[in-house]
Amino acid sequence: MATELGTRVVGTPPGLSLGRGMRAFLLLLWFAARGDALYFHIGETEKKCFIEEIPDETMVIGNYRTQLYDKQREEYQPATPGLGMFVEVKDPEDKVILARQYGSEGRFTFTSHTPGEHQICLHSNSTKFSLFAGGMLRVHLDIQVGEHANDYAEIAAKDKLSELQLRVRQLVEQVEQIQKEQNYQRWREERFRQTSESTNQRVLWWSILQTLILVAIGVWQMRHLKSFFEAKKLV
Amino acid sequence: MMPGSAPLPRRAAAAGRWGCRLLPLLWGLLLLLSGPSGASEITFELPDNAKQCFYEDITQGTKCTLEFQVITGGHYDVDCRLEDPDGQVLYKEMKKQYDSFTFTASRNGTYKFCFSNEFSTFTHKTVYFDFQVGEDPPLFPSENRVSALTQMESACVSIHEALKSVIDYQTHFRLREAQGRSRAEDLNTRVAYWSVGEALILLVVSIGQVFLLKSFFSDKRTTTTRVGS
């Protein structure tokens, strides 16, 4: 079952194909604009994991961009093309649904098929320990879930929607997301209730068992000691 | 016919010819010019004795909000610290379970915020944070229109804002429920281990008592005569 969707192609309407250069330029522009996203530092062999608790049939798009510290210029430069990041996504049952290596800049997409905690792990594929030169790799990361992952410009172009229609479409997507989340919430609440009831049962059984053990032990102790003292002719 | 729908046929034709090429370009350009905006919502694992920092470049005058909550682990608390580009601490709290902090960027530069679990020796924590910078990017690149929005469009905008706050409340509810469920599962396993442990201790202690008592009376013969007389 093809659950891994790989890189998502920048949307082009049918009948009009953008040149490769144009597409690359757009992607660069997109990254330059989004490049000011949150970033963090990651060590050479370090693995950073992020958790997304999502309902089923939800699309998640992650974008990352890496920069390596250049000692000569004393600033962060875009990483060499050979340096890539390995992205691994696990579903709530710990089954791997995406395990791919991307370049120094990448975009990964997956759609959840079971509700729950999905784990997205990133680590660099560098094998040479001296590559980072004692520094760290700077990773710009942006994860969009559900409705935020929709590319409205693409949808408007593809379905030829007017402004008002696009706004209504956005509202519909939002409401669908709310509905999915509430459905998931009902399932989780049921699990929570089951755990609480199990705890309740365990405590109840334990108290009954404890009383029985105490009584039985007490009776055994007295009988044993009585027979012991009778044998010793003390009683 | 709705007001504001007149430019539609013209736009459709333009979209057919140029829009497909220019529209995403315009969108990208607008994003580039307007500076960083939007929100980053991340849930990550913070191992024990670890510190995790995040950085973001913010332009002056942007209103930002940092909100965090600890979902699982230990006493569900974490240290948080937010610094401006000069290193001045804007927000610092130790062992907080959840909090929300709003500030306006006083200068351009890289703002840094860190979560620390260094006070904990063996529990690793799961922390959720939501860092909102400025406003969300508008839906349309041509948002520089001078004419006001139509009634329908402004109704759509207000519904969108209301739904955004619904989603926000849902997220908070989900986090609270996750925290409650984590505590309930901890309690469940603790009760299981404790009941088995206590049963064993009870048996060992009571049987041990009896044999210890027996040993007091077994080897010393002199005590029996003393008790007898």
Residues in A touching B154 (Cβ below 8 Å): none
The one-digit pLDDT tens for each residue of chain A (235 residues) are: 434 444 444 444 444 454 555 554 544 444 444 446 899 988 877 889 999 999 989 999 999 888 887 766 667 777 676 778 889 999 999 999 999 988 888 899 999 999 999 999 998 877 665 555 666 788 899 999 988 888 888 888 888 888 888 889 999 999 999 999 999 999 889 988 998 999 899 899 889 988 999 999 999 999 988 998 888 887 6
**Exposed/middle/buried for B68, CB within 10 Å: 0-12, 13-18, 19+?**
buried
Statement: residue B14 has pLDDT above 60: no
Q: What is the pLDDT of residue B213?
A: 87
Instruction: Note the pTM of the prediction, 2 decimals.
Output: 0.73
Rounded Cα–Cα distance for residues B129 and B152 (Å): 35
**For chain B, what is the HEC assignment?**
CCCCCCHHHHHHHHHHHHHHHHHHHHHHHHHHHHCCCEEEEEEEEECCCCEEEEEEEECCCCEEEEEEEEEECCCCCEEEEEECCCCCEEEEEEEECEEEEEEECCCCEEEEEEEECCCCCCCCEEEEEEEEECCCCCCCCCCCCCCCCCHHHHHHHHHHHHHHHHHHHHHHHHHHHHHHHHHHHHHHHHHHHHHHHHHHHHHHHHHHHHHHHHHHHHCCCHHHHHHHC
* SS3 state at A199: helix
**Which segments of chain A are extended strands (E)?**
39-42, 47-54, 59-70, 75-78, 85-90, 96-102, 105-111, 116-124, 137-145
Task: Using an 8 Å CB-CB cutoff, list chain A residues near B23.
Answer: 153, 156-157
Q: What pLDDT was estimated at residue B146?
A: 57
- 8 Å CB contact between A116 and A92: yes
Tell me what pLDDT residue B17 has. 57
DSSP at A7:
S
pLDDT single digits (tens) B88-106 = 999 999 998 999 999 999 9
pLDDT 10s digits, B153-210 = 889 989 999 999 999 999 999 999 888 888 888 888 888 899 899 989 999 999 999 8
Q: Is the pLDDT of residue B31 over 80?
A: no
Cα(A109)–Cα(A149) distance, rounded to whole angstroms? 10
Average pLDDT over residues B15-29: 50
Asked if B187 and A199 come within 8 Å (Cβ–Cβ), the reply is yes
Q: What burial letters (b/e) apply to A149-158, b meaning 16+ CB within 10 Å?
A: bbbbbbbbbe
Inspect the interface and report whether the beta carbons of B202 and A206 lie closer than 8 Å.
Answer: no
Report d(CA A206, CA B188) in Å as an integer: 13
pLDDT at B38: 81
Contact partners, residue B6, CB within 8 Å, separation at least 6: none
- Chain B residues with CB-CB distance to A170 below 8 A: 139, 156, 160
CA distance B69 to A170: 28
Is the pLDDT score of B49 beyond 70?
Answer: yes
Report CB contact under 8 Å: A51, B198: no
In the prediction, which pLDDT does B30 show?
44
Identify the three-state secondary structure at position A127.
coil
Give how far A173 is from chain B: nearest CA, Å: 11
Interface test with A, best of B10, B11, B30, B44 (most A CBs within 10 A): B44
pLDDT of residue B144: 55
What whole-number distance in Å separates Cα of residue B92 and Cα of residue B161? 31
C-alpha–C-alpha distance, residues A10 and A151, integer Å: 10
Cβ contacts (< 8 Å) between B182 and chain A: which residues?
A: none
Interface with chain B: mutation pick from A195, A196, A200, A207, highest number of B CBs within 10 Å:
A195
